[in-house]
Chains A and B, each alone.
Chain A
Amino acid sequence: MAVKAKKTNGKAQGRVEYTVVCRDVKKEYNLGKVLVGALQGVSLEIKRGEYISIMGPSGSGKSTLFNMIGGLDHPTAGKVFIDEVDIAQLDPYELAWLRCRKIGYIFQTFNLIPVMSALENVTLPMIFAGLIPDDYLPKGAKMLQMVGLGDRIHHKPTELSGGQQQRVAIARSLANDPAIVLADEPTGNLDLRTGREIISLLRTLNKKSGVTVISATHDLKMIDVSDRIFWIRDGKIAKIEERGKIKMSVGSIHE
């Protein structure tokens, strides 16, 4: 059943507004003779403005769940609701609108378009959204400045380091002021220090603009900045933890 938020005068009254809802989502991959069950009935609710980490070991179904939530692939069974709209019911135009305006994506492999400069990469979704050059060029430059790349806007991805490319990807994901940012292993290809910078950048953006951040990761550094953590294992949600309830102690090695 869809979770409905009663809206009166544009404000939710009494009920909680869930921006992402999954109801018993299943995904199976058909590999000829073998049926691989990547997701085996995942149900979750994510509130607006939360910073969520979906954590689990390799092969647990994090990326598959990421694809389901982001509308990048279709579940075999179950439903995904984004702002109470069942995304399986959307036609290609509405789905494209969703991906352009409502959701921003960040990938482990950055996925920048190699033939375009940083500015052009960031402004591409703005072009799809219908902005004209007079509007999108300054906006793109401003976004790149916000992530700390104001002086490299005309560099191509090959001329940028991994951390810088991921920053461009983050700027691109925020290009059309989306409500949700989905990140699939954002720190997977980055070293420790750069990873920390990226994580803190995401947290700052989450706090400042109230965008919901959903990150599928196995990087434990994410735990500290998340509001809630969904532990996933073998295609099912094993545990949901709130940050406040986690005890973390950091040790050090003395030689």
Chain B
Amino acid sequence: MARRLVSPSMAPASREVSRRQVNLPFRRAVEISMRSLVIRLARSFVTSVVVLLAIGFLAYMLSVDLVIASLRSGELVVKPPEAQRYWIAAISLLVAVVGITNTLFMSVSERYREIGTMKCLGALDWFVVELFLLEALAMGAIGSAAGGLVGTLVAIVAGMLEPSSVGGWAQLPWLVMGKNILICVGSGMGLTIIGSLFPAWRASRMAPAEAMRTEV
């Protein structure tokens, strides 16, 4: 008869004991993910640029009307963008998600052997997902922060260059722009998480023998 690794008298607590016995502390996970990111700098950079462009476009869309309106009338005007703007921004975000998913799929398939090895060392499925998600999140955070700033900056410049604008720096809707940047960073990070979930989950589910056998 099969016996569990932990004796039956400990049965109620055995799940907890097993769970506690293999663990990946968050700090170590961050270390490992950041290391992988930096080593594959070119690929990470390109993925961040994808995010930067999409989020930059979103930031521009969110802020440009406000900037132009504020500078024209010389006072703070809060007017929501038209629905069409949202559609255009949504499409650009969709393209970004597709781009991110594609890059991460490639990245994950190149590292199947690494994943298989980690599982041989005792990694649970969620360790693998966590490591890939952290990498994707870091790329997303950097890309969307940069994108938010760049997009807003372009909106400001566009506003300044408008022939009918009369106001100066003081008339810019700083608070709203700041809020928009935060929205952008949040969306960017959300995008990268969505884009990376499926590849990471799929990678984590392979049996170690299969993972190490895969030749991509």
List A residues at the B interface (Cβ < 8 Å): 2, 67, 70, 72-74, 84-86, 89-94, 96-101, 105, 107, 111-116, 124-125, 127-130, 172
Contacts and interface: CB of A to CB of B under 8 A. Distances in A.
Given A67-B209, A97-B21, A111-B113, A72 B2 contact: no
Nearest to B39: A115
13 contacts: A2-B2, A73-B210, A91-B18, A94-B4, A97-B5, A99-B119, A105-B121, A112-B117, A114-B114, A127-B25, A128-B121, A130-B21, A130-B23
Given A93-B15, A93-B19, A111-B113, A128 B122 contact: yes
Given A73-B209, A74-B207, A124 B121 contact: yes
Interface string B190-216: 000000000000000001111010000
A97 B122 contact: yes
A135 to B, nearest CB: 13
Nearest to A84: B3
B36 interface: yes
B20 interface: yes
B120 A116 contact: no
A72 B207 contact: yes
Contacts, number: 97
A97 B35 CA distance: 25
Contact of B125 (A86, A92, A113, A125): A92
Of listed B116, B118, B209, residue having the most chain A CB within 10 A: B209
B212 A129 contact: no
Closest 8 CB pairs of A and B: A100-B122, A86-B2, A73-B209, A72-B209, A125-B121, A93-B18, A67-B209, A128-B122
Per DSSP, are chain B's interface residues mostly helix, strand or loop, or mixed?
helix
A100 B19 CA distance: 13
B176 interface: no
A84 B3 CA distance: 7
A125 B119 CA distance: 10
Contacts of A128: 22-24, 121-123, 127
A75 to B, nearest CB: 11
Contact of A85 (B5, B25, B124): B5
Contacts of A84: 3
